[in-house]
Copies of this chain bind each other. A is one copy, B any other.
Amino acid sequence: MQPREFLMIPGPTPVPDAVLEAVSRHPIGHRSADFSKVLRETIDQLKNLGATNNDVLLFTASGTGAMEAAIANTINQGDHVLSLVCGVFSERWARIAEAFGARVERLTAEPGEAIDPAAVKRRLDADSEKSVKVVTITHNETSTGVMNDLSKIAAAVREHGAISIVDAVTSFGAYPVPIDEWGIDVLITGSQKALMLPPGLAFAFVSKNAWAAYDRCRTPRYYFDFKMYRKSLEADTTPFTPNVSFVVGLQTALQMLHDAGRDAVFERHLRLKNMVRGGVKAMGLELFVKDEAASPTITAILPPKDLTVDAIRKRLKERFRIVVADGQDALKGKIFRIGHMGYVFERDILMTLSSLECVLTELGYPCPPGKATSAAVAVLSGAVTAK
């Protein structure tokens, strides 16, 4: 007998029992009044979470499906797209835009660093001809554990007049993303992160400006066509058979977030981040990202000298059934990543840190028990507020 595998990865994330129970109910017909009511409520809750009056479109797809939707509904062949690239997922925006025929310019930051909002502003200020039509932004770069300053970047894009397209897959629901206040044109997210569901649903929040871009857009699309979803939504339904089970589960998850209070949820995530970072520093390990750019939902850590990422991950899983993530692509084997988003709480961080202490010690990197957790507990006694 072993404890259940515990996912401290950046998705799928732990799912509350109540959500699993909702998901396991027998599916209802998607053209029924019952389903329409559930759909309407989830859409309203999503709007509330994103502090927005924009349209919310629900896709049965992975987050990448919603990314494609954002591109295929706004850009035309040959359009100049500025992609802000600081890791695997922000690079994915560029690749999707290229796949759909855009002329992509990358403004990059080194892995582990955030995009410089001032550099974005300078680049856009220099674009006096308004050549740039779309700017793609990754709010929280999952592959490195970096959070970009979306508020400032979106402001620069708004000032310029381009369409802003934002991946908030690993920030939405964990960190404030006031879509209307920040003026984000298309924001996409997925079900399997802070929204506490398994993977399978994705969402796009679409602004008036984005709808204007839609009207000019001639890129071929069907399954992800924004307007079909908006038209169906006016009748509280979806154009194609949706994952009804997950929409029902989502209703439960969003109600839980609502009951907990949006701000309290955001504050918890900041606390978890500070606990992880405090604990990791106390163990003498090196954090991959400096404090100012640190993600509230994913922390990337360098292994101690002489220990491999593989060994640490393997032992953590075998010994305690806790799963943490490797780096991706060029960072594979260079960092390991602890996800702390969604249905994750203070006690889970204490568990993960103390398990990590134990594992590192066993592997030959001495970590006196209690050092990391003391640092984490210290965070709990301090006051941390959402910023």
Contacts and interface: CB of A to CB of B under 8 A. Distances in A.
Interface string A69-101: 001100000000000000000000001100111
A60 B200 contact: yes
A220 interface: yes
A99 B4 contact: no
Interface in A103-145: none
B200 A246 contact: yes
Contacts of A12: 27-30, 241, 244
A242 B351 CA distance: 28
Nearest to A202: B60
Interface string A297-327: 0000000000000000000000000010100
Interface in A1-32: 4-5, 7, 9, 11-12, 14-15, 20-21, 23-32
A243 interface: yes
- Does more than half of chain A's interface fall in helix, strand or loop, or is it mixed? loop
Interface in A223-260: 223-225, 239-246
A30 B323 CA distance: 12
Specify how many copies of this chain sit in the oligomer.
2
A325 B31 CA distance: 9
Contacts of A189: none
A87 to B, nearest CB: 16
14 contacts: A7-B28, A7-B29, A11-B241, A12-B29, A12-B241, A61-B61, A61-B65, A63-B240, A64-B240, A68-B222, A96-B222, A99-B225, A200-B246, A220-B220
Given A23-B245, A71-B222, 17 more contacts: A5-B26, A12-B244, A20-B24, A27-B192, A27-B198, A29-B323, A30-B199, A60-B61, A60-B200, A61-B61, A61-B223, A62-B240, A62-B241, A64-B240, A67-B222, A199-B244, A223-B224
